[in-house]
Amino acid sequence: MSEPLKVDRTLTFGLIVTILIQTASGLIWAGAAGARLSALEAQIALTPGISERLARLEGQTVHIEQSLMRIERRLGGHE
């Protein structure tokens, strides 16, 4: 004599609420991750301009250093 299968409604309701909360949390996390990625992409879009300017400044520094060395040699200040 087996009893018919009984479903505990509180367990089912708790399980549904837990799944809904986890799903909402996952969607919020995904939205926050998307916002962070968008911010990083915008920041990276500015980086090539900065890199090019830095490379130009490095080249100018080399030329300035060479000019300074020539001036020092001409003045006899080479130590």
pLDDT for the residue numbered 7: 67
Tokens of 19: 């799944």
Of the listed ranges 35-39, 49-53, 62-66, the least confidently predicted one is 49-53
pLDDT for the residue numbered 36: 94
Predicted model pTM? 0.46
* DSSP states along the chain: -PPPP---HHHHHHHHHHHHHHHHHHHHHHHHHHHHHHHHHHHHHHHHHHHHHHHHHHHHHHHHHHHHHHHHHHHT---
Query: Which residue's structure tokens are 């490379």?
Result: 55
What pLDDT band is residue 77 in, cutting at 50, 70 and 90?
low
